[in-house]
Structure 1
Amino acid sequence: MTAPGSRQSGSPQLSWRDLGLHAYLPVWHAMQSLTDRRDADTADELWQVQHPPVFTQGMNGKPEHLLAPGDIPVVAIDRGGQVTYHGPGQIVLYPLLDLRRAKLGVRDLVSIMEASVIATLSDYGVTAAARADAPGVYVDGAKVASLGLRVRRGCSYHGLALNVDMDLSPFQRINPCGYADMPVTQMRDLGVRDSLDTIAARLRGNLAELLGYTAAPEPIADRLPDPSPADD
């Protein structure tokens, strides 16, 4: 497996979009659109976003893991895995990467994303770890970050979600990632009081470094890419 940080990127910087608080469906559809129309020269991007409350059900999702969604919408999507929750106060990063160009396998990218979260938590004195049987990042057995990917045409979309300072109660309406009684935590409850923006900058930097980029991610826009004519 490619060791995190060992790959030499074709670019010294990874461009990123800060989408702010944005509804889930338009972001998902924009990821699909960019992936479908990219070619060998399309630059990789990292999208940062918070979503209004939403449950997303992966392709392996089972209805029994949706215990009581209530008024929170459920969206069936095309990533791997089971059900998870997104809401304000959670940092969501979507790496849209050409894995073939980067010489990365899917497992490599999963490990790099997990390592970026672990490094970010370590920056704040929090010890975290990944689990071989359940993708994500955990602190004393409680899940603090979820991961899910889709690879199409050799390119990745979807990504990771790190719980920072949010209402965790919606996780009680599901079996997170398909595990009954899975405890969930967040950085605030682990004693971290830094701002979400500062934590996000650390996470972006750690992820870019582990992907082999030599500079911090460079902001390019605060909106989704313009749709192609076929998307209109």
Structure 2
Amino acid sequence: MADVLIRHLGRVDYTPTWHAMQDFTAQRDAATDDEIWLLQHPPVYTLGQAGKPEHLLHRTDIPLVKIDRGGQITYHGPGQLVAYLLVDLKRRGLGVRELVRRMEQAVIDLLAEHGISAERKADAPGVYVNGAKIAALGLRIKHGCSYHGVALNADMDLTPFSHINPCGHQGMAVTQTRDVGIAATPAELAETLAAHLTRHITL
């Protein structure tokens, strides 16, 4: 089974990174290693393929990018840890729902290490602490391979979430690791999240 390569990309603009994921997926073959890209984005709203524009409640100076993942609208910004999973699902014998479950479990395991109890919701993919969303998920599958991934709110300005219905859910509360008592920096969390994601992908 191919390895999982971890790439730390730092703070990168959204659109070029999205296009790089598309290019990687289009060019990969049966021998290409799976990769996890760890990064942060400047402020941006992204709207999934079937996303409804009305979930952006108030226009701001934050750009809106219409993209090719599933799901509705979400926000990315500095202090949010993003992990993009470029995984050959067929090779690993994974279905989409199982990959989503394993991604959620990786975040749940990370939070548990810090004494925080988190859960998933059947009707709203992601990870929640006391009913507030702390991590959002979105994927695109092409030729049996995934891209996009999971965004964990760590130490960021949560205000932009108030201008949207997060992931299409009106009034959904959001939180972040800092606000639930986790002192680790996004960089420190990145190492732990990568380890948990790798473990769950390669089970």
Given the two structures, how large is their TM-score scaled by the length of structure 1?
Answer: 0.86
Structure (1 or 2) with the greater strand fraction = 2
Identity %: 56
| Partner of residue 94 from structure 1, selected from 80, 84, 93 | 84
Q: Distance in 2 between matches of 1:194 and 1:203?
A: 12
Which ranges of structure 2 fall in alignment gaps of 5 or more residues?
Answer: none
Which ranges of structure 1 fall in alignment gaps of 5 or more residues?
Answer: 1-9, 214-232
Q: Tell me which residue corresponds to 1:116.
A: 106
1:169 equivalenced with 2:159 (yes/no): yes
Deviations 1:177-229 (A, max 9, x none): 0001100000000011112211111111011111126xxxxxxxxxxxxxxxx
1:185 equivalenced with 2:167 (yes/no): no
Q: Could you say what secondary structure the match of 2:125 adopts?
A: coil
Measure how far apart 1:63 and its partner are.
1.3
Measure how far apart 1:14 and its partner are.
1.5
Q: Tell me which residue corresponds to 1:130.
A: 120
Q: Is the 8 A contact 2:44 2:75 kept in 1?
A: yes
Q: Tell me which residue corresponds to 1:68.
A: 58
Q: Is the 8 A contact 2:73 2:165 kept in 1?
A: yes
Measure how far apart 1:23 and its partner are.
0.2
Q: Is the 8 A contact 1:14 1:208 kept in 2?
A: yes
Measure how far apart 1:69 and its partner are.
3.2
Q: Could you say what secondary structure the match of 1:135 adopts?
A: strand
Q: Tell me which residue corresponds to 2:25.
A: 35
Q: Tell me which residue corresponds to 1:143.
A: 133
Deviates more, 1:39-48 or 1:111-120: 39-48
Deviates more, 1:177-186 or 1:62-71: 62-71
Measure how far apart 1:37 and its partner are.
1.1
Q: Could you say what secondary structure the match of 1:67 adopts?
A: coil
Q: Distance in 2 between matches of 1:203 and 1:24?
A: 20
| Partner of residue 77 from structure 1, selected from 67, 73, 85 | 67
Q: Distance in 1 between matches of 2:73 and 2:156?
A: 18
Q: Distance in 1 between matches of 2:106 and 2:142?
A: 23
Deviations 1:69-97 (A, max 9, x none): 31000000000000000000000000101
Given the two structures, how large is their TM-score scaled by the length of structure 2?
Answer: 0.98
- Answer with 1 or 2: which has the greater Rg: 1
Q: Is the 8 A contact 2:155 2:185 kept in 1?
A: no
| Partner of residue 47 from structure 1, selected from 37, 40, 54 | 37
Q: Is the 8 A contact 2:82 2:149 kept in 1?
A: yes
Measure how far apart 1:114 and its partner are.
0.2
Q: Tell me which residue corresponds to 1:226.
A: none
Q: Is the 8 A contact 2:92 2:202 kept in 1?
A: no
| Partner of residue 209 from structure 1, selected from 177, 193, 199 | 199
Measure how far apart 1:43 and its partner are.
1.1
The alignment covers a number of residue pairs equal to: 203
Q: Distance in 2 between matches of 1:210 and 1:97?
A: 12
Q: Could you say what secondary structure the match of 2:82 adopts?
A: strand
Measure how far apart 1:66 and its partner are.
0.5
Deviations 1:3-35 (A, max 9, x none): xxxxxxx14x42111110000000000000011
Q: Is the 8 A contact 2:78 2:156 kept in 1?
A: yes
Q: Is the 8 A contact 2:45 2:73 kept in 1?
A: yes
